Amino acid sequence: MQIYLVGGAVRDRLLGRPASDHDHVVVGATPQQMIALGYKPVGKDFPVFLHPSSGEEYALARTERKSGRGYAGFTFDTGTAVTLEDDLRRRDLTINAMAEDADGRLVDPFGGAQDLQRRVLRHVSDAFVEDPVRLLRVARFAARYAPLGFTLAPETAALLRAMVDDGEVDHLVAERVWAELRRALTEPQPSAFLRVLRDCGALARLFPQIDALYGVPQRAEFHPEVDTGIHTEMVVDMAARLAPGDALIGWCALVHDLGKALTPADQLPRHVGHESSGVAPIRELTARYKPPGEYAELAVLCCRLHLQAHRAFELRPATVVDLFEQLDGFRKKERIEQFLLVCSADKRGRLGLSEVPYAQADWLRTAYAAAAAIDAKPFVARGLTGPAIGEAVRRERVAAVAALRPPGEARSG
């Protein structure tokens, strides 16, 4: 029996990055031998075990054979004759198909270390096409490593297009698509995820509401980048910068402008009412991929209300309080900051505006603090009851916001 450290831990060590997971492959062992050594079996489809002390995963070396459509259509061989190279060959990218033995010696039969040096994402073998989830994983790795200069190998890009053309991507289950998208939104450059999917045609199949944004023009005085699809890429990257690792903020940033794809051609490049028309496509996506309820709810709110944040200096005090109430911000305080992060990403996710301060957010934070400081207890002490308490609290909140006197600023789209 031989044990090797494999995959991401080896890749990240060679990149000089901390490794979050340490996975191992066991060659030449049977499940019975692993159990006898104290390993706890946890694998459903093939033998995976947890180390009795560290809790790290140890999987028996395996090969895969395609037996049907989709990511689940496989049969596995975990016999003792399966070699380490056999196991590594079934992996997605060469940079993930490396191993280290117990003495730290690198085993790299497919040139992963060289591809790390060249900053290339390259598939290991043609067996890549058998699992459509790999297409999403490659796009997610692009989102992770694009800031380091990684690009997709031309032959891998061609393979992704072939997978889409062959219809394999159409067999992806919604839960797996959402899981990969959610993880991609936590990476440093989510726009790379979108670009990989769009270049191979998968974006139009999986997220047609997002794909439809590309080529739709906007007013250049508000959006120097003009193209709404490019703006969306810039917004999700800015969201990743302002709220690192926060997929909720990334999701709301991704879908906040979907209504612009529905603007009639004779109205372009203006997008009057896009904050309302964008709600339906958001609901289409949430119905298809079933994200957590908070994702679905906050995305709709950000879509509907983001223009109010941009126009904060023009709003009447009562409208500002209305905004906080529509966000349910007096019960869910975190909503205000989440909303303002999305609006900040929208405002700064524009060509040449990434470093421009978003003063509206600072003003709205101040206004919210003043409004939220109003307490109902004094009104109860005066003898008010029922709806009269809420009405009195609201009047005081409006007065508190009015006392702040926001600076004037020209309208921004």
pLDDT by residue (tens digit) across 130-183?
A: 899 999 999 999 999 999 999 999 999 999 999 999 998 999 999 999 999 999
Task: Look at residues 90, 118, 146 and tell me which one is the last residue of a structural domain.
Answer: 118
What does the pLDDT read at residue 218? 96
Whole-number pLDDT of residue 80: 83
Out of 118, 142, 171, pick the residue that ends a domain. 118
Total number of domains constituting the chain: 3
Q: What is the mean pLDDT of residues 324-337?
A: 97
Residue 382: which pLDDT band, with cuts at 50, 70 and 90?
confident
How many Å apart are CA 60 and CA 47, to the nearest integer?
6
**What CA–CA distances, in Å, run from 70 to 67, 201, 275?**
9, 17, 36
pLDDT of residue 73: 52
Give the gyration radius of the chain's Cα atoms.
26
Lowest mean pLDDT among 29-38, 320-329, 403-412: 403-412
Q: How many residues does the chain have?
A: 413
Distance in angstroms (rounded) separating the CA atoms of residues 57 and 68: 27
pTM: 0.90
Q: Residues 190-214: what's their mean pLDDT? A: 98
* CATH code assigned at 181: 1.10.110.30
Give just the sign of the alpha carbon dihedral 339, 197, 210, 72: negative
Mean pLDDT of 63-75: 60
Is 56 buried (19+), middle (13-18) or exposed (0-12) by CB count in 10 A? middle
How does DSSP assign 51-108, residue by residue? -TTT--EEEE--EEEE-SSSTT-EEEE--TT--HHHHHHTSSBGGGS-EE-TT--EE-
Query: Which two tokens mark 258?
Result: 């979907």
DSSP 8-class letter at 192: H
- What rounded mean pLDDT belongs to the chain? 93
69 pLDDT band, cuts 50/70/90, is low
11/41 same-domain check: yes
Q: Domain range for residue 216?
A: 207-413
CATH number for the domain harbouring residue 94: 3.30.460.10
Whether pLDDT at 67 is above 70: no
My answer on whether 184 and 216 are in the same domain is no
User: Are 68 and 128 in the same domain?
Assistant: no
DSSP 354-376: TTS--HHHHHHHHHHHHHHT--S
Residue 380 — very low, low, confident or very high, per pLDDT cuts 50/70/90? confident
Question: Does residue 409 have a pLDDT over 50?
Answer: no
Contact between 367 and 359 under an 8 Å Cβ cutoff? The reply is: no
Q: Are residues 129 and 221 in the same domain?
A: no
Residue 379: pLDDT band with limits 50, 70, 90: confident
Residue ending a domain, choose from 118, 134, 150: 118
Q: Is the pLDDT of residue 324 over 80?
A: yes
